[in-house]
Amino acid sequence: MKLSTPVTITNAQLVTPDGIREGALRLVEGRIDEFVAEGAPGDTIVDAKGKIVAPGLVDCGVFAIDKPAFHFGGITRAALMPDQSPPLDYPERVRFVALSGKPDLWVHPLAAATRDLGGERLAEIALLRDAGARAIATGRRWIADSGVMLRVLQYAAMLDHVVIAHAEDGGLAGEAAATAGEMATRLGLPSAPAEAESLAVARDIALAEMTGARLHFRQVTTRAALALVRKAQARGVSVSAGVTPAHFMLSDLATGGFRTFARLSPPLRSEDDRQAVVEAIGDGTISVVSSGHDPRGPEDKRLPFADAAPGMAGAETLLALVLTLVRDEVIDLKQAFELLAANPAKLLGLEAGALTRGFEADVAIIDPDKPWIVDSGQMEATAGNTPFDGQPMQGRVLALYKGGIPVGD
């Protein structure tokens, strides 16, 4: 359903592909129409009062659809990982998910690369694409069989479909709950070496280079693995990397006290690796930041650290945490929304994620300085398993539009 009259958002700091500009943005029939000085007669006028007007966020790689949390965080589109029950390995399941969030949230299913995500038999990738899948994903686990991964990438290259891979060698990672090092030793936690990530990245880059496939690592969190991605990009391999805010905000020190909200996958890394992630965001090696939204209730988290399920509720804190990188001058405001919206939209082949004429009118009005405190007991998410519980944040969405319609109307 479209608004009967156009909407013009005035008095705005517009985050455009060319940079920040003052002015007004006109939305017509669910699409971004043009930048204007003021609204036309008959338009619905919305005064942004000098605040930021930016594209709605495109969250690439969530594990649950959680509309209230997404809308709180300014997310208008979410790419759902195939790790569902049952997995997204049949066209009917993919088709159902693709329709599930409309009209105020568009869900983009990521197809399972292998049947039951078992890493052995290829799923019907072409049929899954036709059913609405926007990419192929290996899920939470690495495909250990190099022959299977080669065939996944070959098939994806033929279809011009991106493969979203988990970067962690399962043979080394096993059931580890932490990264090997001083902190894991002090806590007595089962751990795996950080090299589990770089080994997985090295193999998958080599296979992507062989096949010419497009490869995206959903999370790259170590200095060694980031160096491999950077070198591959320099020689023209079609490989990109993402990360979640936890891995540029926190090190493995956050696991002290056996705080299971800090039990993540991949596990938190050393301080040197955390700094390497920040550097990689700054130099463009990492091009996507996503929430990894994975709400987990007490039955999954109120357990011994090694037994607790990994994951965090990340949708509500995603925007505010990326804005910390702007305040720290790692990136500018335009780059922040490239990480959060434009780049993930391009990865998935969406006409969204930017204030560009003709694109879907997914728009957020944001106060980047508005303070608030994370309270795990009061979150919009179905569970409040955030490692940032009790921490002050800056940056809140004041209004959100999906297809030109205010969310909540």
22, HSE (Cβ side, Cα atoms, 13 Å)? 3
Name the pLDDT band for 409 (thresholds 50, 70, 90): low
- List helix spans (H) across 160-283: 170-173, 182-187, 195-211, 223-234, 246-249, 271-283
Mean pLDDT (whole number) for 49-74: 96
pLDDT for 1 equals: 45
- Mean per-residue pLDDT, 36-60: 91
In a domain, 34, yes or no: no
SS3 18: coil
Q: What would the mean pLDDT of 86-93 be, rounded to a whole number?
A: 96
> Considering the domain boundaries, does residue 190 fall inside one?
yes
Its domain, for residue 344, covers 57-353+372-390
Identify the pLDDT of residue 40: 78
> What pLDDT was estimated at residue 3?
53
* Arithmetic mean of pLDDT, 92-98: 95
Residues 263, 380, 47, 402: is their CA dihedral positive or negative? positive
pLDDT at 307: 95
Residues 231/278, Cβ–Cβ less than 8 Å? no
Q: How far apart are CA 247 and CA 227, in angstroms?
A: 16
Within-domain flag for 45: no
| Mean pLDDT to the nearest integer, 101-111 | 93
Number of domains in the chain: 1
Question: What SS3 state is found at 324?
Answer: helix
Q: What CATH number has the domain bearing residue 117?
A: 3.20.20.140
pLDDT digits (tens, 9 = 90+) for 236-252: 999 999 999 999 999 99
Q: What is the pLDDT of residues 179-227, one digit of tens each?
A: 999 999 999 999 999 999 999 999 999 999 999 999 999 999 999 999 9
Residue 23 in any domain: the answer is no
In 3D, which of 206, 248, 211, 207 has the Cα closest to residue 231? Answer: 206
The predicted structure's pLDDT at residue 4: 60
Q: Does position 130 have pLDDT exceeding 60, yes or no?
A: yes
Q: pLDDT band at residue 41, thresholds of 50, 70 and 90?
A: confident
For a pLDDT cut of 70, what percent of the chain falls above it? 99
Q: Using the predicted structure, report yes or no on whether residue 151 has a pLDDT greater than 60.
A: yes
pLDDT at 61 over 70: yes
pLDDT tens for residues 12-40? Answer: 999 999 999 999 999 999 999 988 877 77
Write down the pLDDT at residue 101: 81
CA distances for 149 relative to 118, 130, 156, 215, angstroms: 12, 21, 10, 11
- Considering the domain boundaries, does residue 383 fall inside one? yes
Verify cis geometry, omega within 30 degrees of 0, for the bond prior to 6: no
Query: Do residues 121 and 87 make contact, with C-beta atoms less than 8 angstroms apart?
Result: no
- Residue 151 within a domain: yes
**206 CB-contact burial (10 Å; exposed 0-12 / middle 13-18 / buried 19+):** middle
Residue 227 CB contacts under 8 Å (≥ 6 apart), including other chains: none
Residue 29 lies in a domain: no
Residue 361 located in a structural domain: no
Give residue 225's pLDDT. Answer: 98
